Amino acid sequence: MSDWLPSWRPTSEAQLEEAEKNILSSLSSEYRDLYVPIGEGAVIRCLVMEPQEPSFPEKTPLVLIHGFGCGIVQFFKNLDHLHRDRRLYALDLPGFARSTRIPFPEEAEAVEAAFVSALERWREGVGLERFVLLGHSLGGFLSLSYSMTHPYRVRHLILDDPWGLVDPIAEEELQQKYSLLFRSILKIASRFKPFDWIRGTGPLGPHILRRSRRDLGRVFREDFLDYVYHSNVQNPT
């Protein structure tokens, strides 16, 4: 059985690493990898780039947090420019890409707190006192949450199309806005993990992803979809 499973989902940590390297090879600047311990054997993987044009006094470092279903490669088109005059850190959130897929609690508030705690342990691990924090999508939501919890650590906060920054919808309003059928479908769908459909399609997954998300190939590059596949088809956190 164990010999059969890898062929059902054609992926591995080595393939994820290779897909990432293929894309990051387009960078004109050097970078280094850090694997920062955050406790209980887990690590947050991050990429570090030194400033191309060092300034005095040294400018506040920039930290990038990616969106849902991605990792540091999301920013590959921007990295050469963003570290021009300051040190840059781009990290894979816990549970994503090449960071540890740690177990999370079930409750949404507890999950949010776990992410914030992990980010704070990462900050301590790399020795940052203050930094500019930029988050996209889910990373934007978590960046705001971190900034509210540790405001004295964040010099500036930049939110790029962040998730979740709306007032919660009351149950009564939800019933008025959506039909019973639609609410029932949402309730059933909520029992599945977001990328179960990729894992469930087995060896057809890469082909289906390429067909369904051609937009990503056009916006980024064709092999970006290889990275997305190998990042998300592995066992979920």
Write out pLDDT tens, residues 143-182: 999 999 999 999 999 999 998 877 666 666 666 666 766 6
For residue 37, pLDDT over 50 is answered with yes
**Which is more confidently placed, 11 or 42?**
42
pLDDT attached to residue 166: 72
**Which is more confidently placed, 125 or 10?**
125
Report pTM: 0.83
pLDDT attached to residue 225: 82
In terms of C-beta density within 10 A (0-12 exposed, 13-18 middle, 19 or more buried), how is residue 237 classed?
middle
Mean pLDDT of 118-137: 98
Tell me the per-residue pLDDT of 46-82, one tens digit each, with 9 for 90 and over.
999 999 987 878 899 999 999 998 999 999 999 999 9
Which position has the token pair 């906060």? 157
pLDDT attached to residue 2: 42
pLDDT attached to residue 88: 98
For residue 85, pLDDT over 80 is answered with yes
pLDDT attached to residue 96: 94
CA dihedral 70, 72, 74, 80 (to 10 degrees): 180
Topology at the third CATH level for domain 5-232: Rossmann fold (3.40.50)
Picking from 65, 49, 58, 35, the residue whose alpha carbon sits closest to that of residue 133 is 65
The β-bridge partners of 37 are 43
Cβ pair 118, 44 in contact under 8 A: yes
pLDDT attached to residue 65: 99
For residue 23, pLDDT over 80 is answered with yes
C-alpha 207, offset from chain centre: 23
Mean pLDDT of 21-41: 96
For residue 200, pLDDT over 60 is answered with no
Domain spans of the chain, in order of start: 5-232
For residue 1, pLDDT over 50 is answered with no
SS (H, E, C) the chain: CCCCHHHHCCCCHHHHHHHHHHHHCCCCCCCEEEEEEEECCEEEEEEEECCCCCCCCCCCCEEEECCCCCCHHHHCCCHHHHCCCCCEEEECCCCCCCCCCCCCCCCHHHHHHHHHHHHHHHHHHHCCCCEEEEEECHHHHHHHHHHHHCHHHEEEEEEECCCCCCCCCCHHHHHHHCCHHHHHHHHHHCCCCCCHHHHHCHHHHHHHHHHHCHHHHHHCCCCHHHHHHHHHCCCCC
pLDDT attached to residue 42: 97
pLDDT attached to residue 53: 87
- The band of 30, judged by pLDDT with boundaries at 50, 70 and 90, is very high
Across the chain, what does the average pLDDT equal?
A: 85
